[in-house]
Amino acid sequence: MSKQVSLGILACLIALEGSHLGADCTGVAPVPEAALSAVTVASGLPGRPLYVTSPPGDRDRLFIVAQDGFIHIKKRGEPVGLSHLFLDLSTIVQAGPNEMGLLGLAFDPGYATNGLFYVNYTEGPLVGPWFTVVARYSVSAGDPDAADPGSETRLLRFSQPQNNHNGGQILFGPDGYLYIATGDGGGGGDLHGTCGNGQNQGSILGKMLRVDVRGTAPMPLAPDCGGASALYAVPADNPFADGPGGACDEVWDYGLRNPWRSSFDALTGDLYIADVGQNCWEEVNYVAAPTGGRNYGWRVMEGNNCFNPAMQSNCGQAGAPCGTSPPCDDPSFTDPIVEFPHPVGCSVTGGYVYRGCQLPALSGTYFYGDYCGGFVASLRMVGGLPTEQQPDRTGELGVGTSLRFGLTSFGVDDDGEIYIVDRDGSVLRIVPPFTNLEVSGEGSATPFDLAPGAWFWEDLAYTTMQPVSGYRVYRGLPGGTFTCVFAGAAPQWPGGDPSVPPPGTMHAYIVTAVNPSGQMTRSGRPPHTLSAAPCP
């Protein structure tokens, strides 16, 4: 008797604590090593891309937001330079000033059945007056890859005193409510009103708002500071909900300057808010499983440092007392977990906690960066304190200086994998190094199948979004040397191996992939010995 077998991973993989939580990892082969790289998954995108996300439950599409008013779809498995237009809002979006445009996108938690999504954009004449709009749209009835441009329902519209500091992030929290990040009204130093908008609980500027757009809040309140045309409800447990007048019922947190990218940890519900500084300090704020009501300090504080709106470049100098605003270093402030000075960076870009499938060793790691510095950094929160801080991982990712004055956002897909958005028109994905991957490794949705008509294995380019130029099949015996017996561009071998092992023996097979740079995936864990002889 003789037989042919495919070799999977011979050593068992040990699941790391917290790995794979936060995403459905069915069919994804994890890579146990913690090493990182980055690969371009979309390029040539028009309109200054600044955000990427996926609808809940959609593992095959990325939706890329462009500042000029476009939302593009990038489909898994398609060429890097190919994308599809999902929605064009360029005729209603004001994107002329540098910080204005289409700034946010959030899919309804029930998008798979109701087709609803939400956008945040600015509008108005080039020279003003300007407004922020939060609106709901729906996908078209006949095409899942196209939105219905006539389906807009405006939920919130409010004035912007200046054309910068618009915030723009919108996201659904673990509670199902919509969180809206707003800037302080722009200009410099928050010179609005008596003591600025950031510390004014009666303004929705310089805040994190929390509203109910899905009709799920028990005993909801009517809109307060959103105006008569607002179409949402206010959860009664918002920390400043006191009815008409006084503090804005919509406010969840305050004391923000220009929050640029916020996120919830998909596992714990912890909230991270990156807030762009004035002339001295950038910061990242954190609240464990947030209860709301936090004051992050602006314009009294810039990072962990006193701020003087009358002398904005005099770093660390306290301003004069102002109204009911707490003084510098008041214990009521929630201090940032990270700050870094200018000129290390000049505009922090918030990111996400990794809860993906492919790199379980990184579970719980928060990634963030800086638009000007172009660096990607990371940390891990343990017991409320930042640990494992790595202030610059761009060398590890292999992106060089390409992200300087281009790192507009991070994003996450339905598998929990993290992406980096470059304003110049590309989207990168954080991935394991190609040499750490395996073809049809343990957990893969496509095991190595020695079917009678053809042999099949994992389409690694599709599952990992890393470029693959071809595959190699090696034949041998466990513990011995394997020799290449087939090479091809597709993840299959028509007819399979015509060689039949002698009676009483066996043939074993291993498949590897090769990328355009000539790198090859692993042959197993531990690796098997492969002959250097060329493939036929």
Tens-digit pLDDT string for the chain (536 aa): 344 655 543 322 222 233 334 688 999 999 999 999 999 999 999 999 999 999 999 999 999 999 999 999 999 999 999 999 999 999 999 999 999 999 999 999 999 999 999 999 999 999 999 999 999 999 999 999 999 999 999 999 999 999 999 999 999 999 999 999 999 999 999 999 999 999 999 999 999 999 999 999 999 999 999 999 999 999 999 999 998 889 999 999 999 999 999 999 999 999 999 999 999 999 999 999 878 999 999 999 999 999 999 999 999 999 999 999 999 999 999 999 999 999 999 999 999 999 999 999 999 999 999 999 999 999 999 999 999 999 999 999 999 999 999 999 999 999 999 999 999 999 999 999 999 999 999 999 999 999 999 999 999 999 999 999 999 999 999 899 999 999 999 999 999 999 988 898 899 999 999 999 999 999 999 999 999 999 99
Q: Where are the alpha helices (DSSP H) in 365-447?
A: 394-397
First to last CA, the chain: 28
Q: What are phi and psi of 464, to 5 degrees?
A: -105, -10
Identify how many contiguous H helices and E strands the chain contains and give both numbers. Answer: 3, 34
How far CA 522 is from CA of 133, 191, 438, in Å, comes to 50, 58, 5
Question: Model's pTM, two decimal places?
Answer: 0.95
Beta bridge partners of 382: 385
Asked if 151 and 142 touch (Cβ cutoff 8 Å), the reply is: no
For residue 244, say if its preceding peptide bond is cis, omega within 30 degrees of 0: no
Beta bridge partners of 273: 262, 285
How far CA 376 is from CA of 55, 93, 265, 328, 502, in Å, comes to 25, 30, 18, 30, 55
State pLDDT tens for residues 455-484: 999 999 999 999 999 999 999 998 999 999
Burial category of 505 from C-beta neighbours within 10 Å (exposed 0-12, middle 13-18, buried 19 and up): exposed
3-state secondary structure of 362: helix
**What is the residue whose two structure tokens read 């489909």?**
75
Note the pLDDT of residue 16.
29
3-state secondary structure of 534: coil
* Cα–Cα dist 272/287, whole Å: 7
Question: How much of the chain is in helix, strand and coil states, percent to nearest 5?
Answer: 5, 35, 60
Identity at 69, one-letter amino acid code: G
Q: Which two tokens stand for residue 126?
A: 């080039």
Q: Which two tokens stand for residue 212?
A: 């109910």
**What is the residue whose two structure tokens read 């990038």?**
74
Q: What are phi and psi of 362, to 5 degrees?
A: -95, 5
* Cα–Cα dist 377/366, whole Å: 8
Note the pLDDT of residue 516.
97
* Cα–Cα dist 513/437, whole Å: 9
Nearest to 203 by CA among 186, 221, 189, 224: 224
Note the pLDDT of residue 22.
63
State pLDDT tens for residues 266-292: 999 999 999 999 999 999 999 998 789
User: Cβ contacts of residue 130 below 8 Å, gap of 6+?
Assistant: 94, 100, 122, 123, 124, 159, 160, 162, 163
Return the CA Rg of the chain: 26
> What's 38's DSSP letter?
E
Nearest to 51 by CA among 454, 417, 476, 351: 351
* Cα–Cα dist 178/256, whole Å: 18
* Cα–Cα dist 214/350, whole Å: 26
Q: Which two tokens stand for residue 488?
A: 């091809």
Asked if 76 and 114 touch (Cβ cutoff 8 Å), the reply is: no
Task: Give the chain's domains with CATH numbers.
Answer: 3-12+436-530 (2.60.40), 48-431 (2.120.10.30)
Asked if 526 and 11 touch (Cβ cutoff 8 Å), the reply is: yes
3-state secondary structure of 113: helix
Please write down the long-range contacts of 453-460, taking CB distance under 8 Å and 24 or more positions apart: 453/494, 453/495, 454/492, 454/493, 454/494, 454/495, 454/496, 455/492, 455/493, 455/496, 455/497, 456/491, 456/492, 457/491, 457/492, 457/511, 458/29, 458/491, 459/77, 459/491, 460/491, 460/513, 460/521
**Maximum separation of any 2 CA atoms in the chain, in Å:** 92
Asked if 283 and 338 touch (Cβ cutoff 8 Å), the reply is: yes
Q: What are phi and psi of 442, to 5 degrees?
A: -60, 125
